[in-house]
Each structure stands twice: as C-alpha cells, then as structure tokens.
Amino acid sequence: MTRDRFEGCLLGLALGDALGAPQEGGPIERLAWLVLGRTRRGEMRWTDDTQMSLDVAESLIAVGRVDGDDLARRFAESYHWSRGYGPGAAKLLKRIARGANWREASRSVFPDGSWGNGGAMRAPIVGLFHRARPNELAAAVRASAEVTHAHPLGQEGAVLVAAATAMAGEGVRGPAEILDAAAAHCVAPGFRERLDTARAWLERDEYPEPREVVARLGNGIAAVESCVTATYIAVRWLSQGFSDMQVFVGRCGGDVDTIGAMAGAIWGARNGAESLPADALERLEQRERLRATARDLHVSAMAK
C-alpha cells in the first residue's frame, strides 16, 4: 500500500470529522461548536475522533504493535474536553489519568463495556497497519478498541470498519467485494441485517436517499447504528468525489462527525491524499502533523 493511501486515510478521517462536527447534535451543540470549531488562525478543528486516531497511530509507531497500556496512557494524556469527547469517555479517561487500570476503568461507566462507535472511529489506523497481515487484524482491532469499548458490539463495529479500510487500501476490490469481505468478521444479528440491506442496494444499483439509509442502517452513536452506515456510504462513493460523499453524510444527520470520519478514512485509503479536496485540506488544522504521522505509520507498517 502506498504512502499516499496512508496519508489519504488519516487526512480523510480528520477531514470527515472536521466537516461533520459543525452539523452534530441539536442547537446547543451546534452553537458550542461555532465557538470551539475554529483555531485562532481560522482553521477547522477536528474532534476526539481524530485525536484518538492520532494516539493510536503514534502508539503503533512507537511500540510496533497494539499495546493497551500505552494506548490508555496516550488517550488519557491527550484528553481535553474541547475536542468533544462523550461523557462516558470523559469519565473513563479521567479515571485512567488518576491512576486507574484501564481494564477496570473500561467497565466503570458501563458494566458490560461500551457498545458505542468510539473504538470504530479510530479502527482504520489499525486496519492500515495490519493490511499485510489479515489473520492478525481482527484480534489487533479488538485489543485497540477494548481499552475504552469492552462490549463485543463496540469491538465488532471496529473490526468491520478496520477491515473495510484495509481492503479499500488494496485498490483492486470493488464496493460489493469490500463490503462482503469486511462483513465476514460480523456475526451479531444487528450488523448482519444492516449489511444484507447495504449489499442488496449495491447489487441492484439502487441509490437510496439519506432518509432511507438512516431508517434501514441508522445514524446513532452505537456501533451497530453507525459502522455499517459509514462503510456503505464509503464504498458507494469510492469512485466519486469526497466532498459529495460528506454532503450525503451531513444529510443523514445523527453522529455526523464520526460517520464522516469513518467513511472519510475508507475513501481516503482507496483514493489517496492527492484525491482529497485541496481547498478543504488547506483549512484543516494540524494537517502537516497528520501527514507526518501517516508517513511514519507507513514506514512502520512496511517494516512488518
């Protein structure tokens, strides 16, 4: 996989995140992001989706594998409320920062673990890193998600998104092939039913409007209500423009930044950074840090 595709994945994730964040939530949340969503230089800020993805990338570069202890430390050190962390994640990370073991902290908010999409939003990075070792991918993604999302549904969504990213990055598979191969990792009925719906749309060359996509696939913060949605949108738009895809994500509503980030990562892994909209990238904060991290991740992954 080329360096450009690694850059495309991380930049696409961050761009989808930053473009989606202003459309997130109700009037109060949108008003808050009007204040928080720009840097002093007027650049678009990204949210916890990108911050935690950077944490994962930097951990993989430093350690060479998924290490829960290292990830937990980085997540806790990077936490800042202004990035839009959810209340559950905020409580968990604050406990880790105070010295709690992440294995206990990950079940301190939800006894069975979180089934949200927070593990999935950063999973594309793990998928890229393990793209040449598919037999290791699922276990590595589950280990990376487990630090904050111990529930099997949260982890299953993460594996779906990671596998789709890795396969899109190969550059040879079509939309239905990517969806099918990623779906092979899913067993939960909620995922299977949604994947069957998405597969049927692709087979029949149907292009449902956002309202139907939301009704059939979902747009919520639970992994089962967003991971198939993001994967479907990404593969449907693989050969179309990134900006048009993100407009569609916005029209779907719900957890716009995370769905946009996941779809953006898959699209970027397939098409590369050079295909991302240059005008939007120029307005994205810390884009050079994102590029540099993606390049270092590419070097580390290629060395495996």
Residue from 187, 191, 164, 132 nearest 262 by CA: 164
Q: How crowded is residue 90: how many other Cβ atoms within 10 Å of its Cβ? A: 17
Quote the pLDDT of residue 24. Answer: 87
What is the tens place of the pLDDT at every residue in 169-198? 998 889 999 999 999 999 999 999 999 999
Report the residue count for the chain: 304
Quote the pLDDT of residue 1. Answer: 78
Angle at 45 between CA 43 and CA 49, to 5 degrees: 155
Q: How crowded is residue 203: how many other Cβ atoms within 10 Å of its Cβ? A: 9
What is the tens place of the pLDDT at every residue in 16-26? 999 999 998 77
Q: How crowded is residue 298: how many other Cβ atoms within 10 Å of its Cβ? A: 22
For each of the domains in the chain, give its residue range(s) and CATH number, in order of start.
3-302 (1.10.4080.10)
Quote the pLDDT of residue 30. Answer: 85
Quote the pLDDT of residue 235. Answer: 98
Quote the pLDDT of residue 69. Answer: 98
User: Which residues in the chain come in under a pLDDT of 50?
Assistant: none
Biggest CA–CA distance in the chain, Å, is 53
pTM for the full predicted model? 0.97
Cα–Cα distance measured from residue 95 to residue 155, given in angstroms and rounded to the nearest whole number: 21
Quote the pLDDT of residue 207. Answer: 96
Quote the pLDDT of residue 25. Answer: 79
